[in-house]
A and B are shown apart, each in its own frame.
Chain A
Amino acid sequence: MDERFMQALKSAPDPEFARRLRDQLGNEADAEASHAEERPRARWVGLLAPALAVALLASVILFPSVRASAQAFLDLFRIRNFTAVSVNPERIRQLQEGKLDLKSLIGDRVETVIEPGPPQTVASAAAAGAAAGIQVKVPNTLPSGLQPDSVSWRGPGEARVTADVERLNSVLQTLGIRDVAVPMAIDGQKIEVKVPAVVRQSFSAGKKRAEFLQAKSPEVSLPAGVDLAALGEIGLRILGLERAEAQRLARSIDWRSTMLIPVPGNAGSFRQVSVNGQPGLLVAAKGERSGGQMREGAIVLWSRGDMVYALSGNLSEIDILQMANSVN
Chain B
Amino acid sequence: MQRLISWVGAPEVDWDAAYAEQLPRVYNFFRYRVGPAEAEDLTSRTFEKAWVARDRYRRDLGRFSTWVMAIARRLAIDHFRSRRSHLPLEAGLDVASGPSPEDLAERRSDAARLARMLEKLGDRERDLVALKYGAGMTNRDIAKMMGLSESNVGTILHRTVQQLREGWDQRGG
Residues of A at the B interface (CB closer than 8 Å) are 1-3, 5-14, 17-18, 21-22, 24-25, 28-29, 39, 42, 45-46, 48-49, 52-53, 56, 60, 102-103, 106, 110, 116, 118-119, 121, 150, 152, 154, 157, 159, 161, 193, 195, 198, 200, 202, 211, 213, 215, 218, 259, 261, 299, 301, 310, 312
| Bound CA span A11–B59, Å | 29
Instruction: Choose one: B24, B31, B162; the contact of A1 (CB below 8 Å).
Output: B162
Q: Which of B68-76, B83-91, B111-119 forms part of the interface with chain A?
A: B111-119
| CB contact under 8 A between A6 and B60, given known A46-B11, A116-B3, A159-B1 | no
| CB contact under 8 A between A261 and B8, given known A42-B55, A110-B1, A150-B61 | yes
| Bound CA span A110–B3, Å | 13
Q: Is the CB of B12 within 8 A of A5?
A: no
9 more A-B residue pairs beyond the given contacts A103-B2, A195-B3, with a C-beta to C-beta distance below 8 A: A5-B168, A10-B134, A18-B23, A49-B5, A52-B8, A102-B1, A121-B61, A159-B1, A301-B8
Minimum CB–CB distance from B86 to chain A (whole Å) comes to 24
Q: Is the CB of A1 within 8 A of B8?
A: no
Q: Is the CB of B12 within 8 A of A49?
A: yes
| Bound CA span A195–B8, Å | 12
Classify chain B: how many residues form its interface, as a range. Answer: 35 or more
Residue of B nearest to A43 (CB): B12
Chain A CB within 8 A of B96 CB = no
Q: Is the CB of B7 within 8 A of A195?
A: yes
Q: List 9 A-B contacts (CB under 8 A).
A: A1-B165, A9-B32, A18-B23, A29-B51, A52-B5, A195-B4, A195-B7, A215-B7, A218-B4
Chain A CB within 8 A of B133 CB = yes
Chain B positions 34-63 with a Cβ under 8 Å from a chain A Cβ? 36, 40, 43-44, 47-48, 51, 54-55, 58-61, 63
Chain A CB within 8 A of B158 CB = yes
- Which applies to chain A's interface (DSSP): helix, strand, loop or mixed? mixed
Q: Is the CB of A52 within 8 A of B9?
A: yes
- The A/B interface has a contact count, at CB < 8 Å, of 139
Q: Is the CB of A14 within 8 A of B9?
A: no
Residue of A nearest to B41 (CB): A17
Q: Which 4 A-B pairs have the closest CB atoms?
A: A49-B11, A152-B60, A8-B110, A8-B114
Residue of A nearest to B60 (CB): A152
Chain A CB within 8 A of B80 CB = no
Q: Is the CB of A46 within 8 A of B12?
A: yes
Q: Is the CB of A13 within 8 A of B23?
A: yes
| Bound CA span A56–B11, Å | 14
| Bound CA span A198–B10, Å | 12
Minimum CB–CB distance from A118 to chain B (whole Å) comes to 7
Q: Is the CB of A11 within 8 A of B114?
A: no
Q: Is the CB of A193 within 8 A of B8?
A: no
| Bound CA span A183–B72, Å | 51
Give chain A residues whose Cβ lies under 8 Å from the Cβ of B133: 3, 6-7, 9-10
